[in-house]
Structure 1
Amino acid sequence: MIASPARTVSLTDVAGYLPGAPVPAEFYTEVPGAQDQLRDNAMFRVPRWRHHAAPDESNVDLIERAAQPLIDRHGADDIRAVDVLLVHSQLPDVPFVGAGTEVAQRLGLRPEWLIDVANAGCASFVYMLKLARQILTTTTARRALICNAQNVAGQWFIQPQVRRMAQAAIPGDGCGVGYLTTSAERPVLDVTTRHLGEYAGQMRHELDDGRKYWQPGSSEIRIGFTSDGVTQVLERGNRLVPDVVRELCGRIGATPADVDVLVTNQPNRTFLRTWHERLGVSAQRHPDTFDDCGNLFGAAIPVTLDRAIRQGRVGDGDLVVLGGFAHAGDFAGAAAVRWTH
């Protein structure tokens, strides 16, 4: 059990970046041979648009571009003073090497704490929020930058054979970043997380020739979805996110009815609808970017929160809850922030 923090930490700001021009659904649905047995499954209902990172656009490029609005709003000196840098890259650019050190170099940071976070997937923004808050409340660190780079859509899912599969049309690329400070302006009220080892290893990749992904060959890497596996993930995801949001609300003395803005990861429309219905949160209070951006994996929460703020959907004093689950259900988490203008 982690003790309650003695120092208040705020999610001071968020920003997002979407690469390139929007890519229409027809890029996938009208490719010759675009059929498989999962095409009509609720898990793979196609969003209208998504974005693709350029072939030469790295995780570091995405993060640098997402962080620029923070630099513009808070000044380069404040961002360079970041003590804690946490980075989650959906698809690492280089084996063995995380993106964090190069992010620090690009942004002019010299953080005491630099961690490339490999787990927590689609809910990694929540997990990094928890990690950053713990470091900021138990050390001399005063500022943190948490970064989610999603770059799989324009790389994995446009491979010629994979592009024909139902799974390919769902992801989109983008990046979201959060800036945390030891202040009380937009306090992080609490964070709850669950690591669910019983579901570990159930999200797998496949290659037709059976090789290891680093071995030479011509088959294309893809996610190993099956009808039974998809059914199980739908059931788990439908349950896990409402469960962690209710747990979080209980910890801060609130109920789901008190949530003004709910921001989640966004694997598909079914999850989005089920989550706000089970929590009794109206669709208007549950913004998403799915039809414009697809499944942004870990970047979905900060990108969607950034857009909701800029659209005026987050009011002064609103209780904002961020929640999600990862992979086949091996992680789930939720965080509460009191947002002020």
Structure 2
Amino acid sequence: RTNEHDADLAQTVPFEEDDKDPSVWFLDHNYIEGMNDMFKKVNAKEKLIGWYHSGPKLRASDLEINDLFKRYTPNPLLVIVDVQPKDVGVPTDAYFAVEEIKDDGTSTSKTFVHTPTTIEAEESEEIGVEHLLRDIRDVAAGTLSTRITSQLQSLQGLHLRLQDIGKYLQKVVDGDLPVNHTILGNLQDVFNLLPNLSAPKAVSKDLPSVNGMVNGSVGISGGLSENTELAKAMSVKTNDQLMSIYLSSLIRAITAFHDLIENKIQNKRQQEDDDARKEEADKKHEIEREEKLMLNGTSEKTEKESKEGEPKNDEEKNKKKR
């Protein structure tokens, strides 16, 4: 296919980079050459078309690394894979390096230009991945949470697609893009399949009248539109769902407030228990200190009395002997 590349295989290449200086990096090109030679032995038609990294954005050393890959392919393709995508859509961005010619006549510089990419799979791969993802679930999330998350992601994807359609139609109106009748026909089919919740009300003068009856109905009043049974049913269903959401929000807020109060009460009780234990420990320490002082005073008094009862010198001892 012209100007299109099919990438069906990717391999990890040893790479190191200085965190403080992005211009200092190492790429094992010998490993690339060895793996490329082995792949050629298995399938000679496969060729190296580019390289990838997990970004999630372009880095300062990408142009230098891209020049290194020109040894193996004339115009290498750079694919940035976002391993933690926040938006719904294809988590990849592809770039080609081109020479940027400046208007002031200075030397040209290399820069990356974006190219569109799509991720597709064969039927057998789709079935295998679908069964695999069906078994991979978040243990902390329940069935309801998983279903709501899937619906939210679907609505986000629909919103992005509608934005793209709106941008395309605006460019067609402004004359930036030519009119494509195939695309417009598909859009018309999409809008034709949408339910008409506000059908225009029939005007009596535009309908055949027979014996005071207008199109088989009596008493048709004028107006631009009227609410059909489908619109009424949709409104009732929507109001019921919004009421459920409102009640759920109230219950969740009250439960959170109750937990907050319980947490404060528990913290207050714990603080009071800690203060009581601390006060009891201080009292116990004070009692022990007083008992120790009393024991020390008693021992000093006893020692003093014993010293006073002993003869002061040898003469007193001799007198006592006599």
TM-score in same-fold range (> 0.5) = no
Q: Which has the higher strand share?
A: 1
What is the TM-score when the length of structure 1 is the normalising length?
0.25
Higher-Rg structure is: 2
Q: Which has the higher helix share?
A: 2
Q: Which gives a bigger RCO, structure 1 or 2 (Cα 8 Å, sep 6+)?
A: 1
What is the TM-score when the length of structure 2 is the normalising length?
0.26
